[in-house]
Chain A
Amino acid sequence: MSATTTDRLVESLGNRFKQSLRESSDFRGDLSIVVEPNAVVEVARYLRDEEGFDYFLYATAVDWPARDPRFTVVWEVRSLANKTRIRIKTTAAMPDPHAPSLTEVWPAANWHERETWDLLGIKFDGHPDLRRLLMPQSWEGHPLRKDYVSFGEPVIFSDQKLEGLEPDAIRG
C-alpha cells in the first residue's frame, strides 16, 4: 500500500473515530489499527461501506500472558478493488475474554471466529453459532493458549528408565 493511501485512510479513521482508535502502525507495509472493543463493529462497518474493504481474510487472536489485557484479537480484511489491506486489532482480558463478532459485517468471519473460540477461548458476542470447530465438542481447555501444555507423550531416551513414565490416555 502506498504511503499516501495509508496516511489518508488513517487520517479519515482518526477523524471519524477519535476516542476509539488507540493507535495505528505500518510495519513492513501492513497497516494495522488498534481499536477499542466497543467500537470495533462500527469501525468495521465504516471500512466495509465507505472504504470498500469487502473481502474478509482471517480472524485470530494472540495470547500474551504477561500483558493485561491478555489477548489481542485480530481481523484482517482486504479491498479487492483498491488492492489494500487493513488489520483491525482489539484486546480482550481475562478471566472471561470476549470480543464483538464481525459476522454481520463480513459473513465470512463465521468459521474463523469459531476457530478462535475453540483454540483460544475468546467469546465473540453476537456470533450466530459459537461452538467448537476443530476440537471435539466435549474437549476442555483451549489448546493454543500459552499455558496449555502440548506434548502428546514424553520422549524417553535410551538412558532413561521406563517406569514412572505413563503413556497418555486419551483426553476428552
Chain B
Amino acid sequence: MAETRVKQEPFGPGPAQEPFGPEHEPPTEWMELNMGPQHPSTHGVLRVRLKLDGEVVRDADPDVGYLHTGFEKSFEEKTYTQGITFSDRMDYLAPPINNVGFVSAVEKLIGVDVPPRAQAIRVLMMELARIGSHELWLGTAGLDLGVYSGFFYAWRDRELVLDLNEAYSGVRMMTSFTRVGGVAWDLPEGWIEQLQAFIDVMPARIDDFEAMLTDNPIWHQRLQGIGTLSAQDAITTGVTGPMLRASGVDYDVRKAFPYCGYEQYEFQVPLGSNGDCYDRYRVRVQEMRESLKILQQVVDTLPGGPWLTNDRKVALPPRAELSKSMESVIHHFRLVSEGFKGPVGDVYAFVESPRGELGFYLVSDGTNKPYRMKVRPPSFCNLQPLKKLVQGVLLADVIAIMGSMDFILGDVDR
C-alpha cells in the first residue's frame, strides 16, 4: 500500500519532520497553505508558507521583505542628524529606542560625551517606550488568541504613554527626540508630574491584565508547552530579548553592557525556565513592572544641567547664544548645512529594545554621512527559528507562537 502515499515535499533544504509510518496513517497529501502578507495575525506583512498535514504543520517557510523600505540605503544618503528621523520608522512600536540606538553608534564613533540629564531623559523615554510596546504586544497577541477585551485594556494604557510622548516631543509615536550628544529638548513643565501620575496608576492596570490572563486555564492551554525553545537552541539560533530570557539565558543589554546610566538603577531581569510561549508572556509582564521601577528611580534622581553636549562641533548652540557670538553662528551654519564629519572607522553600538538587542554597525569614511549603517534588528533574529518552532504543532498554535515572538516587520525588513 506504500504507493498510495503521495510524496511530501518540504521547502528546500532544511529540517522537516518525518511523517509517521505508512502503516498507521491513511494516505494523505501535504497541503501548502499560504498565510499571506495580509492576515490579521501575522503582526504586519509577513508571509508564511506552511505545509499542512491535516491541521498539523509539517514545515514552514517565512517569506519576508513585504515591508522592505531600504532604510540602510537611505541612511547612506542622509547626514547623521537627518538619519535620526529615519531610524524611528524601523521598529515603530518603540521609536525612542531606535533613536537612542542610532545616536549611540554615532556618539561612539565620534567620541562625544552625553551629559547626565540627557542620559536620564533618554532612559525615561526608552522605558516608556518599552512599556508601550509590551502593552501593545499584550493587546495584539491576546487579540489573536481570543482576548478581545484585552486589546482595549492595552490601548487605554498605551494612550497614556503616547500622551507623554506627545507632551515631550510633539509627536505621539515618531519622537526623534535624540540628537548626537544629548536630546533635542528639555522636559517641559508638568511632564514629570504627568509621568508620576502614570507611574502611580500603572501597577494596578498591569494587575488587571494579570488577573485576566495569568491563571486563566484557557491561556495556559493555549500557551504552555507551545513553541518551546531550549536555552542552548536559543543561543545557537541567535534569538534575543524576552525570547532568550524566557528560555533561561540571563542576557539583557541593560545589565550586561550598561548604557545611558542604567548601572545606577536597581532593577531585575525576569527569566523564564521553560522557554515556551507562557514564559515569554510572564517575562514581558514582569519587564513592564521593572520598567516602572526604573522610571520611578529616574524621576527621584533626575539630575539637572544641560541636556545637550557643549561640543559645538556636533551639537547646535542654544538660540540665545546666536545673537551674542559670531562663532556660534558659524557653528550653527556648518552643522545645519553640512553636518559634522566622523573619523574613519567602524563601530557597533547596541541597546535593549523590547524585542531584544538592537544594534547599529556604522562604517564611516570620514564624511558627514554614514558610509554604511547596518542595523542588527532583534525581530529579524527572533523570526529565524520560526521554521523550527512550528513543526509538529497545530495551525492555531502557529498563531500563538508568532504572537509570542513579538516581531515587528518594520524591524525585520527595514
Contacts and interface: CB of A to CB of B under 8 A. Distances in A.
Chains A and B in contact, CB within 8 Å: yes
A106 B371 CA distance: 27
Interface string B64-96: 110010101100010000000000000000000
Interface stretch (B290-298, B303-311, B343-351): B343-351
A136 B65 contact: yes
A95 interface: no
Contacts of A134: 64-65, 68, 413-414
Contacts of B235: 54-55, 80
Nearest to B345: A27
7 cross-chain pairs, A with B, having the tightest CB-CB distances, nearest first: A108-B238, A134-B65, A58-B376, A134-B68, A60-B374, A27-B345, A62-B372
Contacts of B12: 128-129
Interface in A97-111: 106-111
B359 A57 contact: yes
A80 to B, nearest CB: 6
Nearest to A58: B376
A143 interface: yes
B372 A63 contact: yes
Interface in B237-291: 237-238, 249, 251, 256-257
Contacts of B111: 28
Interface of B: 12-14, 64-65, 68, 70, 72-73, 77, 108-109, 111, 235-238, 249, 251, 256-257, 345-348, 357, 359, 361, 363, 371-372, 374, 376, 380-381, 383-384, 413-414
A108 B345 contact: no
A108 B232 CA distance: 12
B361 A76 contact: yes
B142 to A, nearest CB: 28
Contact of A128 (B13, B108, B374): B13
Contacts of B347: 27-28, 30
B112 to A, nearest CB: 12
B73 A144 contact: yes
Contacts of B251: 55, 80
A55 B238 contact: yes
B72 A144 contact: yes
Given A28-B108, A87-B348, A144-B73, A60 B361 contact: yes
Contacts of A83: 256-257
Interface of A: 27-28, 30, 32, 54-58, 60, 62-63, 74, 76, 80, 83, 85, 87, 106-112, 115, 119, 128-129, 132-136, 143-144, 150
B346 A30 contact: yes
Interface of A is mostly: mixed
Contacts of A109: 238
A157 to B, nearest CB: 18
Nearest to B383: A111
Contact of B376 (A57, A63, A80, A129): A57
B65 A135 contact: yes
B238 A28 contact: no
Contact of B236 (A28, A54, A144): A54
B238 A150 contact: no
Contact of A111 (B68, B249, B348, B380): B380
A142 to B, nearest CB: 11
Nearest to B363: A62
A150 B73 contact: yes
Given A80-B249, A136-B65, A108 B361 contact: no
A106 B413 CA distance: 22
Contacts of B77: 150
A28 B65 contact: no
B372 A133 contact: no
Contacts of A115: 380
Contact of A76 (B236, B256, B348, B413): B348
Nearest to A108: B238
Contacts of B72: 119, 144
B281 to A, nearest CB: 24
A35 B72 CA distance: 26
Contacts of A128: 12-14
A30 B238 contact: no
Given A28-B347, A58-B359, A107 B237 contact: yes
Nearest to A107: B236
Nearest to B250: A80
18 contacts: A27-B347, A28-B347, A57-B359, A57-B376, A62-B363, A74-B361, A74-B374, A107-B238, A108-B381, A109-B238, A111-B381, A111-B384, A128-B14, A133-B64, A133-B65, A134-B64, A143-B73, A150-B70
